[in-house]
């Protein structure tokens, strides 16, 4: 019996050769997260660079102030936002921490003032009605000092802001305040010309010192010219004032003369109807 033929040998298995690793390929799935992270980092850097200083304002209460909502405004322009509220160490005051815009950092000086703007009803005046819908905000008045400051004492009564307004301040002294209040108008010949900006009790307690601000004359009430454009103290050339002497009598007109041509005799002592500018009221000619 013939022997069976041996099975054929398998082909030679090639020897494994390690392949060299090339450059790392960046898959598309990783591109978007890296771009988002780069954009987020750039925005965070911009926010950190644009961040302004933080100030602390002390008030007696936090009525109308909300964290993240109450704005700080100067001339009705937003320049800051309230970030945090806390009580003082003795629990007698409220500390308002607010962040001011970087562009407004130069306004934080020694005599800068802050107060809460809310609806108020005073004697003869009503203020803050616009906050009924928009909410209360903290007003700011920039001082003139050159020294920087970061902690301030808030005013409980809104002051009368006169910065940038043409005019002068005067000091009045009286034995009692009467019905005056901050913002009370000052009249001259029944025309409002200023306001009360501050008052205080004298150190000896014997009187009251009142500070008032008087507005400067406007262009319509300049001392050089009046509303008519004529200089103060001048009269009209076309109709000069008549003298007090008795005018000469004109001869009687003939009966045949036309009635339309007859002239009425002028009355003795009659003057021109136009008043000299020097006697005009203050609204027309400021003195």
Question: Does residue 126 share a domain with residue 203?
Answer: no
Residues 150-166 pLDDT 10s: 999 998 877 777 666 78
Report d(CA 180, CA 172) in Å as an integer: 12
In a domain, 2, yes or no: no
Report d(CA 80, CA 73) in Å as an integer: 7
Overall number of domains in the chain: 2
Question: Does residue 124 share a domain with residue 185?
Answer: no
In a domain, 102, yes or no: yes
Question: Does residue 128 share a domain with residue 207?
Answer: no
Distance of CA 50 to the CA centre of its chain: 23
Alpha-carbon dihedral 178, 183, 184, 186, rounded to 10 degrees: 120
Question: Does residue 132 share a domain with residue 75?
Answer: yes
pLDDT of residue 198: 82
Return the H-helix or E-strand segment holding 194.
strand 191-201
In a domain, 109, yes or no: yes
Supply the range of the domain harboring residue 94.
51-153
Q: How many Cβ atoms sit within 10 Å of the Cβ of residue 99?
A: 17
Report d(CA 161, CA 198) in Å as an integer: 11
Percentage of the chain beyond pLDDT 90 is 25
Mean pLDDT, residues 110-137 taken together: 76
pLDDT of residue 3: 65
What is the pTM (predicted TM-score) of this model? 0.53
Question: Does residue 179 share a domain with residue 93?
Answer: no
Question: Does residue 144 share a domain with residue 59?
Answer: yes
Question: Does residue 141 share a domain with residue 64?
Answer: yes
In a domain, 86, yes or no: yes
Report d(CA 145, CA 148) in Å as an integer: 8
Q: Judge whether 221 and 284 are in contact, CB under 8 Å.
A: yes
In a domain, 137, yes or no: yes
Mean pLDDT, residues 89-109 taken together: 92
Percentage of the chain beyond pLDDT 70 is 63
């Amino acid at each position: 019996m013939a022997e069976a033929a041996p099975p054929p040998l398998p082909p030679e298995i090639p020897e494994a050769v390690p392949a060299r690793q090339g450059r790392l390929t960046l898959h598309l799935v990783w591109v978007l997260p890296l771009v988002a992270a780069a954009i987020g980092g750039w925005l965070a850097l911009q926010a950190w660079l644009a961040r302004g200083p933080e100030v602390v304002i002390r008030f007696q209460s936090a009525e109308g102030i909300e964290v993240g909502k109450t704005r700080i405004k100067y001339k009705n322009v937003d320049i800051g936002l309230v970030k945090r509220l806390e009580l003082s160490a003795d629990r007698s005051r409220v500390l308002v921490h607010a962040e001011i815009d970087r562009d407004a950092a130069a306004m934080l000086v020694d005599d800068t003032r802050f107060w809460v703007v809310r609806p108020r009803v005073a004697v003869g005046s009503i203020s803050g009605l616009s906050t009924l819908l928009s909410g209360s905000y903290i007003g700011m008045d920039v001082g003139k000092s050159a020294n920087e400051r970061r902690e301030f004492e808030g005013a409980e009564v809104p002051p009368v802001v006169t910065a940038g307004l043409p005019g002068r301040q005067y000091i009045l002294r009286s034995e009692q305040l009467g019905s005056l209040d901050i913002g009370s108008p000052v009249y001259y010949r029944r025309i409002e010309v200023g306001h009360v900006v501050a008052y205080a009790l004298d150190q000896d307690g014997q009187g009251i010192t009142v500070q008032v601000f008087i507005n400067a004359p406007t262009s319509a009430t300049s001392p050089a010219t009046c509303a008519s454009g004529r200089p103060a103290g001048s009269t009209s050339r076309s109709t000069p004032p008549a003298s007090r002497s008795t005018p000469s009598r004109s001869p009687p007109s003939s009966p045949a003369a036309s009635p339309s041509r007859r002239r009425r005799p002028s009355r003795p002592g009659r003057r021109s109807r136009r008043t000299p500018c020097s006697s005009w009221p203050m609204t027309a000619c400021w003195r």
